[in-house]
Structure formats: C-alpha cells, structure tokens
C-alpha cells in the first residue's frame, strides 16, 4: 500500500464535510409533552371487519409464493474470474481519487507486484490527463 492511502480517504471526507456544512448543527433542549396512549372506540362492525381481514389473510397467505433469485456472478468471484484482486480495484480507486482531488498522481511506497494493476493505473492516469 501507498503511504497516502488513508490520506486520500480522509481528505475526501474532510472536503465533503466542509462543502456540506456552513455551520455545525447542535441539538437544542426543547421541552415536549409526554406522549399519551391513544384509545380507539371501535364499533361492532369495525371489530367484525378486523376479524374478517385476519381470517382472510390466514386463508390466502399459504397461496402466496415467493421466488428466490440467487446471483452468483458479482463481487469477489467476478473479480477473480477476471484474474484481478479486490485490493487491486481499491488501490486504483484510491489513486484516481487522489489524482482527481489534487491534480497529480502520487508515488507508491509499496512494490507493485501485479503487472495488470500497474498497466491499468498507468492507462487510466494517462486518459485522465488528456
């Protein structure tokens, strides 16, 4: 990893916070009334309708069918099929975030063992400067 990985994330958070906040909100002590329990006066017709709805629900609920769909081609498995690593994608994203934020790329302190990572990063950096 590069020595600036955390700095990129922290700077993005600080930048977003400074743009979104003109002043820091502080809660105020506002007195409020204690909630009261609501009482409902239900007519015999209302009670009969509730019972009818319950029995109708119990009758019809077994007829409802839910179909479960399982997606298997996403996440780490998909990235591994492309012979990449999740860490590679994160590193590229952090490098591009720094480039976008500061207008220049940074020196990477760690060795880049993955040739694909280097090529993709170099191409994306060049494309962004065009």
Domain boundaries, the chain: 41-129
CB 101, CB 8: distance < 8 Å:
yes
Whether 1 is catalytic: yes
Q: Could you tell me the pLDDT band of residue 128, with boundaries at 50, 70 and 90?
A: low
What integer best gives the mean pLDDT of the chain? 74
pLDDT for position 48 = 96
Please say if the pLDDT value at position 109 is more than 70.
no
| Per-residue pLDDT tens digits for 6-57 | 666 777 777 777 777 767 667 788 888 898 999 989 999 999 999 999 999 9
Question: Which member of 1, 100, 102, 123 is catalytic?
Answer: 1
């Amino acid at each position: 990893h590069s020595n600036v990985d955390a700095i990129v994330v922290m700077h993005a958070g600080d930048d977003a916070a400074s743009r979104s906040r003109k002043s820091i909100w502080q809660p105020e002590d506002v007195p409020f009334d204690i909630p009261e329990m609501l009482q409902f006066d239900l007519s015999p017709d209302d009670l009969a309708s509730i019972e009818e709805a319950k029995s109708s629900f119990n009758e019809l609920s077994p007829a409802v069918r839910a179909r479960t769909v399982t997606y298997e081609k996403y996440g780490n498995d998909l990235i591994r099929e492309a012979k990449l690593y999740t860490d590679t994608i994160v590193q590229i994203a952090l490098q591009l975030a720094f480039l976008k934020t500061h207008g220049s790329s940074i020196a990477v302190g760690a060795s880049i063992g993955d040739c694909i990572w280097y090529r993709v990063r170099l191409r994306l950096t060049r494309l962004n400067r065009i």
